[in-house]
Structure 1
Amino acid sequence: MTQSAPGGTATGPAAGIEPGNQYYKVLKTTCPATGTVGGTAYAHCGNNWWSYDTPATVGTKTAWAKSQGLGGAFFWEFNGDTANGELVTAINSGLK
């Protein structure tokens, strides 16, 4: 992919821990987010596009959950978060 904004056609998955999947703790430094669409951060690095949550997007999502009277939030796994837990801290802060 060569366009500078989301919306193109993919030719295949990006390389990561498995095809099309990479940890936030890796992407935050190797392919930092350059914008958001639909409440999710995205980044274009080389020929790869990534979309992923950041502490800021988690904050927006947890604020919405609270505004809807929902009782909490979840995440898939801890392993992709940073060593100091940036994403889980954002969940905790956002739900207080």
Structure 2
Amino acid sequence: GVTQATPGGTATGAAPGTYEPGIEDYKVLKNTCPPTGTIAGTSYAKCGSNWWSYDTPATITSKMAWAKQQSLGGAFFWDFTGDTANGELVTAINSGLG
């Protein structure tokens, strides 16, 4: 329910997701709704009347660089199921912190 492609618009509700409204895996979004921009370190895209924001390997790499610059001890994520079969996101975490 969005009409604006850039962040800051309004919506009539959450986009339909695999698990529940507003929740979708990176492995799905990267192909069905590839990012068209980045704001505040997170990718976003408008596809049809749906708007998504999500991390990509590039945004994760920049976040890991920031974590290292701040001398933080590491990073975490909830689970592997939303990543691609070859682990694009977890690889970006590992490479970025390495």
| Interval containing the TM-score (normalised by the shorter chain) | over 0.9
Q: Which runs of 5+ in 1 are unaligned?
A: none
Residue 2 of structure 1 deviates from its aligned partner by 1.2
Q: Distance in 1 between matches of 2:76 and 2:5?
A: 31
Question: Normalising to structure 2: TM-score of the pair?
Answer: 0.96
- Counterpart mapping for 1:61-80 below 5 A: 61-80=63-82
Asked if 1:23 corresponds to 2:25, the answer is: yes
Give 4+ residue runs of structure 1 displaced > 2 Å after superposition.
none
**Root mean square deviation, CA, Å:** 0.6
Residue 9 of structure 1 deviates from its aligned partner by 1.1
Question: Which residue does the alignment assign to 1:35?
Answer: 37
State, as a whole percentage, how many aligned pairs show the same letter. Answer: 74
Q: Which runs of 5+ in 2 are unaligned?
A: none
Asked if 1:89 corresponds to 2:69, the answer is: no
